[in-house]
Chains A and B, each alone.
Chain A
Amino acid sequence: MAFVLTRPAAHTRPAAHTHPAAHTAAAQVGVAREADDVVAPSQHRLASRSRVKVISAAPAHVLLAVLALVSIYPVYWMFVTAFRPAGDALSTNPLPGPVSLENFLTVWQQIPIGSMLASTFGMALTLAAAQLVVAVLASYGFARWSFRGKKVLYLLFVGSWLVPFQVTMIPNYLLVSQLGLLNTVAGVVLPQLCSAFAVMMLRQHLESFPKELLDAAQMDGRSSWQTLWQVVVPNLRPALAALAIMLFISAWNEYLWPSLIMQKSTALIQIGIRAFLGAEGNNWGAIMAASTIACLPIFLIYIFLQRYVVDAFVRSGLK
């Protein structure tokens, strides 16, 4: 689902010229306001004023806290149920405990969860890396030169946003099947190699890339290929990292296409766990344990790289 979400609209263009400035402005405003809050209480004269500020912000805090609670409760409950002893699954105690790994053991014994994780990880990593390389090349071509047919070719990328996957899935399925790739991870990866969203997002970054650097590289006698890998890519590292993380998460969470291609294989976690859910019925402890495992890599990425994740997804919606 995340994957479809992240394709920006055709009208990225009118806003494009504000893009880098607007973004840093947003960050600066955030920082400035934060600084305000920190400084104010430290100054005695302002203490009462800041107390007024805190009180007037109370309803906003309550609102956000409720929203955060609603958002996090289902995930919390998933963890709590997963870590209970199998017999306590129906417990209504909202607090965690007693902790037990029994449910995880059940999952481990019932399905090859380790190999599912490994192959899904491999699939998502390959797909994200390939999408990134394809997008870097294309966006560099679009941003650096103007050439005959450029507008039309670029419109292909923008327009692909209007072609829902469900409309092209039958011909895609037939092609994958003709290539003999049904029920293989390659069949899942191949049709998604070009992410139009990644191309459009990187092009925006590249258009604000300082032209002086490109000129300097050219003067040093670097070819366009060397310039790309030695000058452009190292300078774009934060943007590329954010995009790579987003592509990885989207690939991991992709559901529709794997469910069509992998009908007779449970190699990928989405499909493997779907089968497990069907088989386990009401064994909620084991089901929550399997779900926890399916989410774990994404949650770990989120915990350690939160800034990148939010930044990439939100920006995809901003423009």
Chain B
Amino acid sequence: MFTEVPGPAAVSSKTLVVGPDGLAPERPAGGRRARAARRLVPYLYVLPAVILLLVWTYWPLVQTAGLSFQDWNLIPTKPKVFVGVAKYAKVLSLPELHQALTNTVLYIVAFLGISVALPLAFALLSRKVQGKARTFYQALIFVPFLVTPVATSAVWRWLFAPEGGTIPAIAATLGMPLGNVFRDPDSSMMSVIVIVGWQMLGFGVLVVSAGLAGISPDYAAAASIDGANQRQITWRIVLPLLSPSLVFLALMTILLSAQWTYPIIDLVTQGGPGNSSTNIYYLLYQFGFRNFDAGLSSAAGMLFFVGFGLVALVFVELSEKLSFHDN
């Protein structure tokens, strides 16, 4: 529908755009200088955003790459010492890193279930509810996503509180006494998953439902006339058409679940006890702002940046291949 306006490379072609009255709508501005100025116009619009990106994202990325080869404790007066790949060697040998990496993968697997698979099941099973009732349910389901991180952590600490908390009380009546889940290495990670999952589930349900609503019912109607049953319609028509939404949700989960969990880890467990609930981003924070080891934090950061970049590339390729488009 949209065709791009001829660019500055072809400014003179604008004269070919003829107005309704058969006249050229605009005279081409005179001299070379005016033309050069006009060629600059698009850059002027884009410039503020580009400069901000360069200053606050890309140049810092270069600086992080530089810091990863240096030993420095973040104190401006202290010299930075070049140490080659020593920081990379160190970070790869640290047991904390292995633990954080394992945890991150576990978090990702858990959130693939909670924010992709479960929402898909819920959305497919609840398709029959439409109209006002659906709007009402969805309005409630989306609320957790909006709760601010400090409040989320406070509310769940209260719900899990050994004294007076709702969840231990319910667990006790069911004959499964709960201790302090955040202080127990066996349950701390689970508790973070429950809290963040509570926030993400509703978001996933809404995204999948919106994707489902975008699929024309004509396809299903046509297929059922051809004798397809409900199961076949779901597997052969609905799911392939939904796959762009699902692939995107999965990619977001993989790339961002470490970000989603960060505030809750920081506010509820601080990665503990004994790193049992930490993840890679929390580890970066600890290396940088607790141990003041800029080199170590940067080296680990670069490794994750490259690793996640590769995962994203694979996914983008995959989504190009898997996605079916409804037109």
Contact = CB atoms under 8 A, between A and B. Distances in A.
A71 B266 contact: no
Given A141-B42, A273-B150, A284-B158, A57 B305 contact: no
Given A162-B312, A194-B56, A253-B149, A25 B214 contact: yes
B9 A156 contact: no
Question: For B46, B164, B169, which residue has the most chain A Cβ atoms within 10 angstroms?
Answer: B46
A299 B7 contact: no
Point out which of A61, A138, A167, A292 has the most chain B C-beta atoms below 10 A from its C-beta. A167
A226 B259 CA distance: 40
Nearest to A310: B142
A284 B122 CA distance: 34
Contacts of A2: 145-146
A170 to B, nearest CB: 5
A167 to B, nearest CB: 4
B265 to A, nearest CB: 11
B82 interface: no
Interface in B93-108: none
Most buried by B among A34, A71, A143, A256: A71
Contacts of A38: 131
A43 B303 CA distance: 65
A70 to B, nearest CB: 7
A318 B217 contact: no
B161 A77 contact: no
B52 A193 contact: yes
Contacts of B214: 22-23, 25-26, 29, 318
Nearest to B132: A34
Interface in A37-55: 37-38, 53
B316 A171 contact: no
Contact of A260 (B140, B203, B289): B289
Contact of A5 (B128, B130, B159, B203): B203
Contacts of A192: 56
Interface in A7-21: 8-11, 14-15, 17-18, 20-21
A9 B150 contact: no
Contacts of B154: 78, 273, 277, 287-288, 290-291
A74 B148 contact: no
A284 B205 CA distance: 31
B50 interface: yes
Given A167-B301, A284-B161, A291-B150, A67 B142 contact: no
Contacts of B284: 166-167, 169
A233 interface: no
Contact of B146 (A89, A196, A309): A309
A208 interface: yes
Interface in B14-71: 17, 19, 25-26, 39, 41-46, 48-50, 52-61, 63-64, 67
A49 to B, nearest CB: 14
Contacts of B297: 170
A288 B154 CA distance: 7
Contacts of B126: 60, 63-64
Nearest to A278: B267
B304 A277 contact: no
Nearest to A285: B158
A314 to B, nearest CB: 5
Interface residues on A, range: 35 or more
Interface string A266-305: 0001100110010000101001101110110011001000
B125 to A, nearest CB: 6
Contacts of A253: 146, 148-149
Interface string A191-230: 1111010010000000111010011001101001000000
A92 interface: yes
B252 interface: yes
Interface in A59-100: 59-61, 63-65, 67-68, 70-72, 74-75, 77-78, 81, 89-90, 92
A316 B4 CA distance: 24
A137 B51 CA distance: 13
A196 B59 contact: no
Given A29-B216, A71-B141, A90-B163, A10 B312 contact: yes
19 contacts: A4-B259, A34-B132, A60-B126, A64-B129, A64-B133, A67-B205, A77-B158, A137-B48, A146-B7, A164-B301, A167-B61, A167-B301, A168-B61, A194-B52, A219-B26, A274-B267, A277-B267, A290-B154, A319-B248
Interface of A: 1-2, 4-5, 8-11, 14-15, 17-18, 20-23, 25-26, 29-30, 33-34, 36-38, 53, 56-57, 59-61, 63-65, 67-68, 70-72, 74-75, 77-78, 81, 89-90, 92, 134-135, 137-138, 140-148, 150, 153, 156-157, 160-172, 174-175, 190-194, 196, 199, 207-209, 211, 214-215, 218-219, 221, 224, 249, 252-253, 255-256, 259-260, 269-270, 273-274, 277, 282, 284, 287-288, 290-292, 294-295, 298-299, 302, 306, 309-310, 313-315, 317-319
The 4 closest A-B pairs by CB, nearest first: A141-B45, A194-B52, A171-B60, A146-B7
Given A145-B5, A162-B308, A252-B148, 14 more contacts: A30-B130, A34-B131, A60-B126, A68-B141, A137-B48, A167-B305, A169-B288, A211-B3, A215-B17, A255-B149, A269-B148, A282-B161, A309-B146, A317-B248
